[in-house]
Structure 1
């Protein structure tokens, strides 16, 4: 019984945190959406079976709900600790890469004094937020470790829960003054990171 109470209290507190983050981002004009959340090894919160490996929008008509005002967004998190999703392709895109490439690209951006919003999942995937723009260059598009998340897609935002941890910021938007870079800026950094000598040792930076 005590364990159940603690679990309920934790879930309630976590829902409050997710709701507060969703409201704050909605006020800033970010197209946020509620997504499924992990429970006992599966993703809950949406009618019907889901075999996804990550959160998906709980509303089938989620594309029609994009741009909902913050006051309405607040009501979406009054019942369950839904994941916090960002609809991409509508002013915001994201370039998804693996953990190693993400670290190297972040180092390239730091070297030129250009912090950008970066988030990471417990599944070792990094997302570089960009303004909606052009597609990936041919070199990046051919790399299986890189994906552009754009129109008709979404990404999880912190502090969305996963089966083994939560999504977290590697570089918070506040650090960048809430400025979102162009996709070309991030793609240039990724290309530079890919062309780094493979024998160069990686230095732990704590990012």
Structure 2
């Protein structure tokens, strides 16, 4: 019984945190939406959907983009829904693996230009950018890189995953809530791709013997 009470208390506190974050972002004009959430080995919150990650709770989610903060507040009154950001209307996101993400973040830090970055428990990093630009050809043809634009979404902190919680690697406050152009992030990614990774260094050393 105590474990059940503790679990319910945790869910309630987590729902309050998700709701507060959703309201705050909606007030800033971020197009946030509720998403399905982990419940044991499955995802709950929307009937007939079996996915390995969060998806919008409402089937007509695209028609709900831009909902006012007051209405957004009601979405999290009953369940600990994941917090999603609809991309393509205000912001896009460029998704990469954690290795490239770390290197690109280093490039941006080196020029004094931190940008909002999200990381998920499955080792994916998301760089937020202003909407409207396509990926450079080199990035677009890399199977490990994905542009989330119109018709897509990403998961925002502090949404839960099966094994962990989505978190900020660089919070928007660090950047003064200024979201960079896509070109800024893409240039950093291109620079990072030119940096020698550990695997490349090992290959070079072996080849030099």
On whether the aligned pair clears a TM of 0.5, the verdict is yes
What residue ranges of structure 2 are gaps of 5+ in the alignment?
202-209
Unaligned runs of 5+ in 1: 202-207
> Aligned residue for 1:140?
139
1:197 shift after superposition: 2.3
Is 1:123 matched with 2:122? yes
Runs of at least 4 residues of structure 1 off by over 2 A? 197-201
- How many residues end up aligned between the 2 structures? 200
| Larger proportion of helix | 2
Partners of 2:51 and 2:140 lie apart in 1 by 23
The answer to whether residue 4 in structure 2 is matched with residue 4 in structure 1 is yes
Once the two structures are TM-superposed, the CA of residue 51 in structure 1 deviates from its matched residue by 2.6
Larger gyration radius, structure 1 or structure 2: 2
Match of 1:153 in 2: 152
1:163-206 per-residue CA deviation (whole Å, 9 max, x = no partner) reads: 000000000000000000000100000000000123588xxxxx
Q: What are the equivalent positions in structure 2 for 1:126-205 lying under 5 Å apart? A: 126-198=125-197
Number of the residue aligned with 1:91: 90
Whole-Å separation in 1 of the counterparts to 2:82 and 2:193 = 32
1:68-125: CA deviation from partner (whole Å, max 9, x where unpaired): 1000000000000000000000010000000100000000000000010001000000
> Given that residues 37 and 83 in structure 1 are in contact (C-alpha distance below 8 angstroms), is that contact kept between their aligned partners in structure 2?
yes
Please tell me whether residue 17 in structure 1 is matched to residue 22 in structure 2. no
